[in-house]
Structure 1
């Protein structure tokens, strides 16, 4: 469908959870808008995640306020395809004006007049405001240390689908956040010999004293934290909703048969080297785990809650041999490793947004999503306004703030247009 000569007040780019939430709030305020999506609604949930992925939070929590998941209990962990279907249904419910199959190629500010010119694969649009709702998972990142050995299969977690996709042989999974842990576990259960490189991480309990950890972070005010704690800026969270939801326990993974190693340092001549930090990384993850248990116990005592005690939660397995005798170097061929999976995160790409809204590193310059470039907004990014900003419910609240800001700016613009120019003598 051609968009040539289309004019719109607010253009939202991206129809994932951020774009849909933005459309709902703009619609409630009566603000004319259009949402463009280069593929399908919630595409990344469908084609850029592994087959068995489920939500890392329970259905009662990881959803929009206005709709529950149909066919799932509140405590279920919803599979990725059902999450994508939920997004489609929600967009229909809020009557989001979404055009799919349209790629935004370039946005520039108009010279001498308000608004922006937006070049798309289907024509040119004029928009007064731009909301970049493309999220944080745009460009899979594989670090420069990746070996150049043509005999190795290497792929990012965004391109991993299932164990049958991989060649015969052992697998090294680099990165022990939620994605790396779940993929390593799946591969080991499928009969693969798996090595898992574990860096710094937070490791919350899946549940404690009858409440999921997302509830604990809520009542303890952690989701509303406005900034990361010093030293935690790049720390991943090891949590899983797989197999009905369970606490990630690296010692259990080691006893299960996964070989744990420290942070991956380098590759040279077919040999991988690892930092001697495995035990320390696991110990710091334990500290994070125990600190949440302590905070939960204190909250229960302070508020007189009748929740069952759970002494078993503080017990820990003995260290597996791979922790007490860590591997610091590994000959990949001798270990039979034929595949490396990089669960090493993503970077953003706003090369299409050619306005003064990015810092020297190409990252958004904003305050709670309101850009340094007037009329440009960002939505769906980590810590946009709080710790919960990247969650479905969190992005919904961020979208409301941005929609209210847009509504206020429209009122100022309407006043300016209504007041005649002062006559001069």
Structure 2
């Protein structure tokens, strides 16, 4: 896509960086108000869904939560879970629906401000300027692989979860998946269901039941306002941004991920990875605690749902609570990669943010943008699509419409203020 065959101009009122659901949502809002803008996407729209997900990937939230501004999900399975190709098609259809002015294959390499107050964007397509800029590239940029990876035997193939596509991609032999967040658990299951012997390194990520008392848990949480809770009202405040998401899956029509059941079926579970010495992996003695804490998180959510039902005297079927199917033996464990014929490792330990191309004083000591609902401390610079930017839904399809509408008001106000300043100087 190349903005319907047009060429980049030297200047725009607004430049949106990033052509995913966040950038396109912002573009929709600007288009509705006829504000001159362009969207710059370094690859193709929907790049992360297209290029950084495995073949069997599907949403973990129901399709009805796909509610981009002006383009709610209109398919026949609102309570289903779109697969990878369907997600890409949804995003592409959205861009076409309002002729989003997207330039694909344009990477912004530097963002600064000129002496006259304009933003200057240096890109692979040349230098352009803008009155205002929206950075809509999310918060997951660089795959994180610990330095410990360098200590592993050279013959073992190592990939990051963003590179994983299918079991056939990996050499024959056993696979060690490190990390039990959403991606790690789903990839471990993908390999396990394909008949591969899997070792899974289990961390502190919580889990959630897929359904409870007759409905998807996401439906209950939405009714209770959890996706609308502002970050400053959350018990953890901004600390919630560092918390792992609950693991669950939309696969097979949607179901729980029960690691204890997988252990009974032959998947080997281990605690957190501590070290590697001459090809022997050393795990912490915290597997039982991590599994228990994950279960406790799921049960606490059910407690909240029970209370919600009772308070409102809702008619909902009763349901038996989860009973652990398997318990690990206590003690630290080790895994000799060579002796156990482990030939592949999938690192599923997250991503790091990378905003070092933005040469403006808008970051904290960790390089994270300082903002309030996406409005930075630099007049005219905004962020959109960050996890928990404002609510739990901010980094998802469900909350970006509200966030982009809020930023539109700020952008329009800035445009009006600048226009008044120019008039007063004449």
Residue 88 (str. 1) matches residue 95 (str. 2): no
Cα deviation, residue 25, structure 1: 1.2
1:315 aligns with 2:319: no
Match of 1:373 in 2: 378
**Secondary structure, aligned partner of 1:223:** helix
Moved more, 11-20 or 139-148: 139-148
Q: Which residue pairs with 1:11 in the alignment?
A: 15
What is the match of residue 407 of structure 2?
Answer: 402
1:278–1:326 contact (8 Å) kept in structure 2: no
Aligned runs of 1:232-251 on 2, under 5 Å? 233-251=242-260
Report which stretch shifted further, 70-79 or 379-388: 70-79
Aligned to 2:261: 252
Q: Distance in 2 between matches of 1:253 and 1:326?
A: 20
Q: CA deviation at 1:420?
A: 4.1
Distance 2:85 2:140 in 1: 18
Show the counterpart of 1:62.
Answer: 66
Q: Secondary structure at the match of 1:12?
A: strand
Q: Could you tell me how far 1:101 is from its partner in structure 2?
A: 1.5
2:125 maps to 1:122: yes
Q: Which residue of 1 aligns with 2:109?
A: 105
What SS class does the counterpart of residue 185 from structure 1 fall into? Answer: helix
Q: Secondary structure at the match of 2:67?
A: coil
Deviation (angstroms), 1:326: 5.5
What does 1:39-58 align with in structure 2 at a 5 Å threshold?
A: 39-58=43-62
Instruction: Show CA shifts across 1:278-308 (max 9, x none).
Output: 1111111111111111111111111121111
2:158 equivalent in structure 1? 154
Deviation at 1:419, TM superposition (A): 1.9
Match status 1:224 vs 2:228: yes
* Residue 311 (structure 2) aligned to one of 302, 307, 313: 302
Matched-pair contact (CA < 8 Å) for 1:264–1:275: yes
Contact kept, 8 Å, 2:284 with 2:332, in 1: the verdict is no
* Contact 2:198–2:268 (CA under 8 A) maintained in structure 1: yes
Give the counterpart of 1:136 among 134, 139, 159: 139
Question: Is there any run of 5+ residues in structure 2 with no aligned partner, and where?
Answer: none
Instruction: Indicate how the Cα distance of structure 1 residues 420 and 108 shifts in structure 2: closer, same or farther if over 3 A, else same.
Output: closer
> 1:420 & 1:45 partners in 2: Cα distance?
48
Q: Conserved in 2, the CA contact under 8 Å of 1:226 and 1:386? A: yes
Q: CA deviation at 1:234?
A: 3.0
Partner Cα distance (1:420, 1:229) in 2 = 48
Deviation at 1:327, TM superposition (A): 5.4
CA distance in 2: counterparts of 1:138 and 1:145, whole angstroms: 21
Q: What TM-score, normalized to structure 2?
A: 0.93
Decide whether the 8 Å contact of 1:4 with 1:124 is kept in 2.
Answer: no
Q: Measure how far apart 1:325 and its partner are.
A: 4.7
Deviates most, 284-293 or 227-236: 227-236
Aligned-pair distance for 1:324? 2.5
Distance 1:267 1:46, change over 3 A: same
Q: Which residue of 1 aligns with 2:281?
A: 272
How many residue pairs end up in the alignment? 416
For the Cα contact (< 8 Å) 2:152–2:279, is it kept in 1? no
The answer to whether the 8 A contact 2:20-2:47 is kept is yes
Match of 2:188 among 184, 200, 213: 184
Structure 2 counterpart of 1:336: 341
Which of 31, 35, 44 is the aligned partner of 1:31?
35
Distance 1:236 1:61 in 2: 17
